[in-house]
Homo-oligomer: A and B are copies of this chain.
Amino acid sequence: MADRIEPRVLKGFRDFLPEQEGRRKAVQTILEQEFRRHGFLPIDTPILEYTDVLLGKGGGETDKQIYRFEDNGGRDVSMRFDLTVPFARYMALHRNELYLPFKRFHIAKVFRGENTQRGRYREFTQCDFDIVGVDAASADFEILLLMVRSLQALGVREFQVHLSHRGIFNRFLTSLGIAEQSVELLRTVDKIKKIGNDAVRAELGTLVGPDAAQKVMAFVTADGSAEEVLGTLIGLAGDEPVDTGRLAAVLEAASAVGIMDHVRLDPSITRGLDYYTGIVFETFLTRLPEIGSVCSGGRYNDLASLYTKEHLPGVGSSIGLDRLLAALEELDDTAVVAQSVDVLVVSFTDEDMGANHALAEVLRARGLAVEVYPEAKKLGVQFAFAEKKGIPVAVICGPEERAAGTVNVKDLTTRTNHDGLSVDRAAETIASILGR
């Protein structure tokens, strides 16, 4: 084969080596367990969908970020760019097979032809969890609780979920007579953590004049304990069961469950998206604020209005798995470790192949992950292989040991030998080396 193809991947796409993929899988497993413990169940949807289903009828304008093409059957198709739109389509299509409130999680790849310069990927993994079909403080709180428990389960200790409520802010804007500019106002306030108070105040001033800007700033920068901040908001916007009352109930439940250390009422959180109508969340890592929110979400009025007339309110949140993994690596967190192989069974002769595999099976039955070196190479080669693959223990059963019915165990980390052991004793010794 003279005419070789250069092995390469597309810009913005990635291979995952075993160590990286092991960590990704470990994070996913921990999150899935946490979701299930809270009654959320998994779903899946296709990676490819009809373009109008993903983009709506206005999808005719070319969106550069979408991987869109005509398939061999002449259909206008696109690769999903998030998990929210397919979920809305899913709820509309399967409404009669599902019950409400419906709690699902979905961990899957999405695709966006984004500018890759800022360390962004074109294929990345999202992890969404939502409760659909109910508009109640309990559901809002459950999403908040799951955000907290998910990060705790991953070993993250220093983080805060910042929350606010769109409804209070909207009422306040109405009372100031500037509700019509709410979209621009929300977008401007949303930049507060990036560009700072002064810059936002100036921008607000050009939008609504200095007086209103001053009042908006008083609202979004309200500070203190959750109780104090809520008091300030009620003072500015008035008290309404539907929004300040809802916030108070969520905060009360957070106290009852004991997670207030990780919760901060922060009226500067608005989530730029028009989509949200109630409570909104963003999550920041105390030691890595610069990476932005690792888990965000909120309450929306009507999930699937594009596809069905049924009114489906909901609340949910999304973890950007790639950003979170990068953060965990930077925090040098130890809760997430790629599972590796425990034991290498060394090969002496090609004839003892069957016996080595039988020995490996006995060790596996004792809960160990065991690999048999497939060729009778020099011991040094086999130990070097174990080191490269990160296998901490070797089991050696040469002709003498086999005749005596014993094995030798070698701790490859400390280079300590434990010779002449029965298989039972060997398994115990390995467990103790592995710290199990």
Q: Measuring CB to CB, which residues of chain A are less than 8 angstroms from any residue of chain B? A: 1, 3-11, 13-18, 21-22, 24-25, 32, 36-39, 41-50, 52-53, 56-57, 64, 67, 69-73, 75, 77, 79, 89-90, 92-94, 97-99, 101, 103-104, 109, 111, 113, 123, 131, 134, 136-139, 141-142, 145, 249, 252-258, 304-309, 339-341, 347, 350, 353-358, 361, 364, 368-375, 385, 388-389
Which residues in B have their C-beta under 8 angstroms from that of A48? 10, 13, 67, 79, 111, 123
* With contact pairs A10-B46, A136-B374, A375-B134 given, residues A99 and B361 touching in the complex (Cβ less than 8 Å): no
Query: Would A385 and B138 count as touching, CB distance under 8 A?
Result: no
Known: A7-B53, A99-B388. 4 other contacts (CB 8 A): A8-B53, A17-B43, A36-B369, A41-B340
Please report the C-alpha to C-alpha distance between residue A252 and residue B355 in the assembled complex, in whole angstroms: 10
Identify whether the interface residues of A are mostly helix, strand, loop, or mixed. Answer: mixed
Please report the C-alpha to C-alpha distance between residue A290 and residue B59 in the assembled complex, in whole angstroms: 45
Closest to A42 in B: B21
Query: Would A44 and B15 count as touching, CB distance under 8 A?
Result: yes
* With contact pairs A5-B57, A57-B5, A306-B5 given, residues A93 and B39 touching in the complex (Cβ less than 8 Å): no
Please report the C-alpha to C-alpha distance between residue A97 and residue B32 in the assembled complex, in whole angstroms: 30
Which residues in B have their C-beta under 8 angstroms from that of A98? 17
Please report the C-alpha to C-alpha distance between residue A307 and residue B9 in the assembled complex, in whole angstroms: 13
Query: Would B43 and A101 count as touching, CB distance under 8 A?
Result: no
Query: Would A22 and B41 count as touching, CB distance under 8 A?
Result: yes
Which residues in B have their C-beta under 8 angstroms from that of A77? 10
Cross-interface CB contact of A131 among B3, B13, B52, B374, cutoff 8 Å: B374
Cross-interface CB contact of A5 among B45, B53, B69, B354, cutoff 8 Å: B53
Query: Would B7 and A308 count as touching, CB distance under 8 A?
Result: yes
